[in-house]
Structure 1
Amino acid sequence: MLKWIVSALLMVLAFALSAQAADIKMDCNAIYSASNFHSQGAQLFANKVAEYTSGSVQISVHPGGSLGFKGPELLKTVKDGTIPMSDILMGGVAGSDQVFGISSMPLLADNYAQARKLYDTARPYYDKACRKWNQKLLYAAPWPPSGLFTQTPLKTAADFEGLKTRTYDKNGAELLRAAGASPMSLPWGELYSALQTGLVDSVLTSAVSGKDGKFWETLKYFTKINYAFPLNMVVINNDYWDALTPKQQKEVLKAAAEVEAYQWEESSKSNDESLKILAEKGITISEPSKEIIDMLSSDAVLMLENTMKKSKKDFKAAINAYKK
């Protein structure tokens, strides 16, 4: 009888220890402010994970880059496990793997349907690239279409000459340089002061970022060139992922799929809302002239052709599959 009781107690203890071992807490680095829809999406994901795993997986989201990581170093930071999870602007880490620059290739997708097709086509290659960096891609969602915020109106191709434009990745810099502008890279946190001091006089970004950055205080115009729908991805270090039980992994992926679908819809809604706010604050919003469209389209085609000539096989395969 005593032997049976001891055996039963050992089984209970084993189950308790197993349950305790299955519980896990992780920090998730979020680049943008808590009011940004990407950071809000990360928080929604954390909430759903906690709900679906009955609290056994807890994710603490840290918006505004408050953990101290914001840029091209993020892939390595997650790879090394310095932070377990992060949202990452794909184009910002394209220097680490070329495929991460696919979504910000200029004028490759000019509406949300095309952007979704491009994402679905390239997803296997994104997954592969993430695995190389010891992490798993959980979900990705697009920024609204990038346009140009300027101090003077863009009416002709000549108006691009001399623009000191802050771009968010190499692709945008290359296109604007071909158009005659002088692109430069700046951390988001330094942009407002750069606009105030005249270090830059224009910004390639979305209406959402223009709203978040209060660009009406320094800029006057927004031209909707629909440059790209760049993706943000949320990733997890593979060692942390492997520490989850199969059931926990299943529930995390369920949450990720739901948030991804929600964030694609939210991107479009955020764009509409932000354009309305910008207009109310005095920003003049316009469609690009045919001359500008023709110039940018021509430059974009040439840029893609040149990129394909020197690109690696995964990048080529994704682009070719998308264009079928």
Structure 2
Amino acid sequence: MGVRKLLVSILAFLSLSVFAFAQNFTLNLNAIYGPTSFHTQGAMKFAKLVEKYTNGSVKIVVHPGGSLGFKGPELLKAVKDAQVPMSDILMGVVAGSEHVFGISSLPRLVSNFKEARALYEDCKPLYEKAALKWNQKFLYAAPWPPSGLVTKKEIKSVADLKGLKTRTYDKNGAKFLRELGGSPVSMPWGEVYSSLRTGVIDSVLTSTESAKNGKFWEVLKYFTNIYYAFPLNMVTINLDYWKALSKEQQKAMLKAAKEIEEMQWKNSKDRYFSAAKVLEEHGMIINNPTPELEKAMDKAAKKIIDEFMSKAKSKERAVLEKYIK
């Protein structure tokens, strides 16, 4: 009799487990960077964890390099309207649609990974609320290594920035360089290398990781550690797709998201140093800004942060006031 009860209990448990993951889903995830980018690699690992934790009932197919046709400012709307179920999104690029997403790319607001993580944790409830407004569930976010200036000539002073045609990744970066006398240029990442080759641009505001992936040592010589920002990439899922998942599937996806978020924050820090080493091995010179340049950058940054604060909601201002130096 005891054995029979045990078997009944086991069968009941298995039935409940099967029911919890009864409906199978295959979800496309748009990744805006190529397969070698650590953000894309993180999304791929996330997909594997989700499949594992949902017993194979949820499969996420990652499409690198924006191959689904979605690459920039339209991504919030694309996920909102379910043109793509999930996407990796560079927050600063969609800040024109949702102000709060511009916080992580505010210039020189934080100067190290510890401060960047604290800022993220303070802002996370705001990011989650903003995602809901755009009909999507915020899953996780992680930073790029700090942005620097990758140039053909050495940058020692503001005079060296005058007229410099620099590819930037969002409006904050464009305003920052314009304040310093530069000529910011907006373009898809896929066009950057050829534009450097042809002289359409002559510098890039980006991380050591991106400079490494882009093989910028073939066209540029210097990387200046200006610690411009630690811009965040987030992964979201359309809210209707999210609600279609069972509670167990949702729980499993959030578990995977938490693990990947921790892993990606660590990876970002590790990639900063390992990528810098690769750049130096290929002949690039990595240096720090002069005191004169530091002073000019802080002045330009303050103007942009003040402008951002003037348009910020009370909760955004309350967070930022903790970090404004």
Counterpart position of 1:9:
none
Contact 2:140/2:258 (CA < 8 Å) preserved in 1?
yes
Separation of aligned partners in 1, 2:226 and 2:195: 23
Moved more, 106-115 or 186-195: 186-195
Question: C-alpha separation between the residues in 2 aligned to 1:92 and 1:47?
Answer: 27
CA distance in 2 between counterparts of 1:275 and 1:219 reads: 14
Sort the Cα spacing of 1:123 and 1:17 in 2 relative to 1 into closer, same or farther, 3 A. closer
Residue 10 of structure 1: aligned partner: none
Aligned to 2:231: 230
Q: Residue type of the partner of 2:310?
A: K
Deviation of the 1:306 alpha carbon: 2.4
Change (3 A) 1:241 1:294: same
Whether contact under 8 Å (1:98, 1:315) holds in the other structure is: no
Tell me the CA shift for residue 315 of structure 1: 2.9
Q: CA deviation at 1:55?
A: 0.5
Q: 1:118 to 1:20 in 2, by over 3 A?
A: closer
Q: Which stretch has the larger CA shift, 57-66 or 259-268?
A: 57-66
How big is the shift at 1:311? 2.7
1:121–1:322 CA contact under 8 A, matched in 2: no
In the other structure, the counterpart of 1:267 is: 268
In the other structure, the counterpart of 1:119 is: 120
Q: TM-score, normalised by structure 1?
A: 0.92
- State how 1:285-296 maps to structure 2 within 5 Å: 285-296=286-297
Q: How many aligned positions are there?
A: 312
> What do residues 57-82 of structure 1 show as CA deviations (whole Å, max 9, x unaligned)?
11111111111111111111100111
CA contact (8 A) 2:20 2:248 kept: no
Deviation, structure 1 residue 86:
0.5
Counterpart position of 1:101:
102
TM-score, normalised with respect to structure 2: 0.92
Distance 1:227 1:244, change over 3 A: same
C-alpha contact 1:125 1:318 (8 A) present in aligned 2 = no
Unaligned runs of 5+ in 1: 1-13
8 Å CA contact retained: 2:21, 2:248: no
Aligned position for 1:163: 164
Q: CA deviation at 1:18?
A: 5.2
Alignment of 1:103-252 (within 5 A): 103-252=104-253
Tell me the SS of whatever aligns to 2:66: coil
- Once the two structures are TM-superposed, the CA of residue 273 in structure 1 deviates from its matched residue by 1.0
In 2, the alpha carbon distance for the partners of 1:16 and 1:248 equals 11
CA contact (8 A) 2:21 2:249 kept: no
Aligned to 2:304: 303
Instruction: Describe the superposition over 1:97-123 as per-residue Cα deviations: whole angstroms up to 9, x where unpaired.
Output: 010000000000110000001100110
Matching residue of 2:281: 280
- Out of 298-307 and 149-158, give the one that drifted further: 298-307
SS in 1 for 2:205: strand
Say if 1:117 and 1:322, in contact at 8 Å, map to a contact too. no
The AA in structure 1 aligned to 2:34 is S
In structure 2, the CA distance between the partners of 1:314 and 1:98, relative to structure 1 (3 Å rule), is farther
Partner residue in 1 for 2:12: none
Q: 1:20 to 1:256 in 2, by over 3 A?
A: closer
In the alignment, structure 1 residue 90 sits paired with structure 2 residue 91: yes
- Is 2:85–2:237's contact at 8 Å kept on the other side of the alignment? yes
Q: 1:264-311 CA deviation, whole Å, 9 max, x = no partner?
A: 000011111110111111111101111111110121122212221233
Secondary structure class of the residue paired with 1:180: coil
Q: Which runs of 5+ in 2 are unaligned?
A: 1-14
Q: CA deviation at 1:17?
A: 9.7
Cα distance in 1 for partners of 2:119, 2:311 equals: 20
